[in-house]
Structure formats: C-alpha cells, structure tokens
Chain A
C-alpha cells in the first residue's frame, strides 16, 4: 500500500494535477506522532530556552517580567572571583578526571578482549557506580575518606570521586571500539616484528584514537556536571555545580541564569565534539573491517 503511493508521488512530481493525491496511510497515527514529538521537544528544550532568555533579563529578580535586554549578568559571573575560581576548579578536575578515567578505561578495554578468570565480576564492579544512587555514592565516599584519614580537597577526594563516577561510562564508550578491532591487524604487526608496546602505539592506538578522544570529551562533560557525589567530599574548593548550588540556597542571585547558560554551553560543546569523534570512529570501523568480519575457519579453529 505504501509502496505504490510513494512511487507514484515521485513519478508525478512535475505534473501534480494529473493524478489525484493518494491518501496517506495511518493518517491519524501520524498526526498523533507529530503532536507527541512536538510536546516531547517542547518539554525538553523549553526550559533551556527559557533560561537563555532570562539570562539576558535586566531584572534584579530571577524570572518574568522581562524588563530589558542586558549582558550585565555575564559580566557579574566573570567578575566574581569565587565563580572564576570554581570554573578553574571544574576545568582542572574535569580534564584530569577525564584523562585518568579514559586511560583506565582503555587499559580495561584492552584487557577485556582476552578471557580471564572473574571477567564478569570485574565488569559488574566497574559498572557499580552507575547503579548506586548518587547520594549513597557520596555518603559511601565520605565515610571511606573519613576512615582513611584523607582530607577533603579538590585533587584528592573530589578527583577520586569523579574518576569513580566517570570510569564506567568511559569504559562503556570505549569497549565497543576495541572489541570490534580486527585482531588480524595486531597479528600482522606482530608477524612483522613489532613487540607488544609497538603494536599498541603504532597500530591499535592510532586506529581507536577517535574513540579515545570521544571518551575524553564525554568523560569531561560528566565530570563537569557532577554534583551529588562532589558536594559530600568537596571541602573548601568548590566546583561550578557546587558553587551554583550555594548561590541558589544562599540567595536567589540574579546572575544564576547567566551561569546556567555558561555551564550548558561548556557541556554541550564538549559532548558535541565527542559525538563528532564517535561518528568518525564508527565510520572507520565500518569501512575498515568490511571484509574482515567473516573468517569462518578461524572462528572454528580457535573455539
């Protein structure tokens, strides 16, 4: 039913009058779907757009009515030493946490390609931080650091909390890239005289590099937004979300929307670049391994 109708529509594109427009199938269903999609995106992006809108409001009180356009509140954000420091803290921890989590995830993903004893248990252990509610995770970390006598600070407790939180996501992002990696490439390198570390630096890493970059950016984005676990272990060095929380609780500061917009922009930007790299990694895998998928005899022989 759908086949002929679309075909005829394509054929008569130039002469619309000639044929009566065929009735679309599932008309009501399509309409409902459009309404659903419209509402979905309205609820998803409406508040975000509202925040952007409000960040340019002259009013001293956060909210409507809109009393005039200004970029004043962005100036306030960047003139506040506490906020600039928090931004620096977040960037520093984010970059370090992303680097550490991605390196660990890469090592884990390499290891996970081989069978080893207790593989399933290790996998679950890596994924536990995703399952445990954030508030519980924060308390657990607080107790842990308290008992082990580690003083709360940015590059001790907060960094550990962030790596702990980011690692499972980094692993889940990176593992498919390495799992789908054609082992014959490594064997070929080995055959041509490359010892294991050369195989990694010359063959494996260059090929999975887009996946690694994507993982770095996603990890950074996750760390940059982390709040619940951070607030338990943060000490005196505040990250952006913690600082933000303080501003909401202490005073409903008029520069809040501007800050929110900055956070959103940084997060979206790093994730977007991440997706670009991810797409590149997937395309590479698709074009390079097209012929390498099927090797029935090998599969049989090595089972």
Chain B
C-alpha cells in the first residue's frame, strides 16, 4: 500500500475530514501475521468496506479499530486521536457483531437501552431515545419482546438500534448479514444504506461478498493475506483492478501473463499473452519493451461474433472455437479456446447474435483497449 497521502492542500485532506487513520499497522498472533504494514484513511461519513476472503485480516483490522485487539506495531487514530490502549468502552465506536451478540436474557428494550444505561442517562431520556431508535430501524412496538421471539431480520434491526443508540462516530459492521438468506440480505443491505444516508455516521463494513461491498460502499479496500491491495470506489476497483488478486476476486475476469511487445506513442501498448495480442492503455508508470506483465479483461467486456470486423486494428480481437456455452439468465457464458490454446471466457447478452452460436463453432472475439487492465503483480 501507498503511504497516507501527505497533508496536501485540498478540501478533503484536513484531519477533521478523517474518521479513522491507520498508520503502518501490523499484527501478529504468535507466528501468524494477521496484518502486514497496513495504512488506510477512512473519511468522515463514508460507507467504507473491507473486502477480502476468509483470513485476509479484515476482521482483525475492524476489531482493532473497535479496541478488541491492539496493533503489534503502528497506530490507529479515531477522530484524530491516538487510540493506543483505549478499551472498547472508552471509544467512540460501536460494533455490530458477526452473530449479533444480542443479550439473550434481556428484552429488545433492555438490549437497545444498554448503551445509554452505561452512560447513566435517566430513565425517561433512555425510554425516549430507545423508542426513537426502534422507530428508526422500523421495530416500533417490539420493545417488550424477548430476543428468541424475533425473526432473523428483526434481530438484525435490534442489533443496529443497539449499536447506533450511542450515536457512534464510527459504526463497525463485522459481516452481520452473513447468516441471512439472499432475499433478506438484500433487504437488510437496503436498510443499512438507508440508515447510513439518514444518519451520516461513518460506517466500516467487513465482508467477503464482493457484490455486497459493491452495492453498499462509497469506497472499498480489497485485502488479502494481511495486506491492502487496492483502495478505491466500487467502479475503480471493478474497472481498473491493480493486481491479479483484485481482478480475480472482484467479478469474473480473464487474466493472462504476457510480455510487452510494443509501447506506442499514443498511450497504448501491445501485450502478447499465450499467442493472443491485447492492446491496452499504458499505465501511469510506463512500461518497457519486453517487460513481463499480466493483463485482465472482464468476461462481460468480450464480445462474440461469427465474423470479425475487418477494420479492427491488431490486439483488439482474435479467432477462437466455442468449447462450452452456458445459459446464465440474461447472458450466455462462452468458454472459448484460441488456436494457440489460450482460454477466454465471454459473457454476452442473450439478445444479440449470441443466441445462434453453438458449441464447437468458429467465432471471433473482440474487446476494446480501454477494457483491458494491466496488472501490477
């Protein structure tokens, strides 16, 4: 990861705009490295997701922000203040736990009121704020229910109300939707987005589901093996993955290793991979002739036709044979093999010519140079 941007003059870079700053943090559990020199800034009011597979360190990072773990080295600032040694009960963060951790021996009201009670508010103020919180999560009238009388979605809402009642500066969400079925999960995603919009607190959301992260976040950090690989908006992450891991993890992507053949003065270059040439935009750092690189093209950015466009330049298409055709609902997925043996997958809308193309047929694949990403590693 790059170091935190130097305090450049600009509207967004004052320390007031940052809810959380993570500076050079590493964490070891015995021999295992959970986090490896991570730096990150999360802006105030942002819906920020930590995305990665199991064991990538995203939950550890979240728990460190919440104060449940301490960093082995490095520092974590919340609202500009170093949090070293501050226990969870002394932080302006609240967490929604993976399995919610609602108090089973308390009613809905008592669960939601717990945070206020710890702040020693008087009874009438507590009652009023709990009622408002339950209204906010659309659980009006559920205050006397026991936790085991609630459905999965209702439990989610209680957990949200309980975590939000203290109006935390940062709300931490540890995959709280993981255990829900798809329909309910989509509804709760919507609910979380609505809460975020109406409250304006900073949300940090941990998930291994790239679709969930895409749908909900202002920005995403993709993590793997204790490191942050890329930070950006969902579009940046999706359209311009910087590393092979990001390209693979987010969406469906053809990834090839190859060598730079020619770098052209118009800002494009040709990369030869497994017998196929790809024209792509030269990345900012520039490339040298013969340099080894990887390139990525998303499935849906490859088009398929019976006849190639004779006017297309080199590196924007190739001939191939369809080895498999799968109906995916709305799109066909074509697995193809080029004459040189490279395997390319294309997702093509069912509306066009694709409907008539059968397995075993000779086809022409095409892509645009702007859809080809050059990966850094």
Binding site for B on A (CB under 8 A): 182, 184-185, 187-195, 198, 202-203, 206-207, 284, 287-288, 291-292, 295-298, 300-303
Contact = CB atoms under 8 A, between A and B. Distances in A.
Contacts, number: 91
A192 B59 contact: no
Interface string B17-43: 000000000000110101000000000
Contacts of B307: none
Given A295-B98, A303-B30, A284 B55 contact: no
Contact of B101 (A182, A287, A297, A300): A182
Q: Which of B60, B89, B95, B179 has the most CB of A within 10 A?
A: B89
Contacts of B104: 185, 207, 284, 287-288
B99 A184 contact: yes
Interface of B: 29-30, 32, 34, 54-55, 57, 59-60, 63, 66, 68-69, 87-89, 93-95, 97-105, 114-115, 118-119, 148, 162-163, 166, 175, 179
A182 to B, nearest CB: 7
Given A185-B103, A287-B148, A192 B57 contact: no
Given A185-B103, A191-B66, A193-B119, 18 more contacts: A184-B97, A184-B98, A185-B104, A187-B68, A187-B95, A188-B101, A188-B102, A188-B103, A188-B162, A189-B114, A192-B89, A192-B162, A288-B148, A291-B179, A297-B55, A297-B175, A298-B98, A302-B29
Given A295-B98, A298-B98, A191 B89 contact: yes
23 contacts: A184-B98, A184-B99, A185-B101, A188-B97, A189-B103, A190-B87, A190-B89, A191-B66, A191-B89, A192-B89, A192-B94, A193-B166, A194-B89, A194-B114, A195-B89, A198-B118, A207-B104, A291-B179, A296-B54, A298-B59, A301-B29, A303-B30, A303-B32
Given A296-B54, A301-B59, A193 B97 contact: no
A295 B99 contact: yes
A210 to B, nearest CB: 11
Contact of A184 (B29, B87, B101, B162): B101
Contact of B115 (A187, A192, A291, A297): A192
Contacts of A189: 103, 114
A303 B69 CA distance: 13
B55 A301 contact: yes
B88 A187 contact: yes
**Residue of B57, B95, B99, B115 most packed against chain A (CB within 10 A):** B99
A193 B32 contact: no
A202 B103 CA distance: 10
Contact of A193 (B59, B98, B101, B118): B118
Contacts of B97: 184, 187-188
A292 B114 contact: no
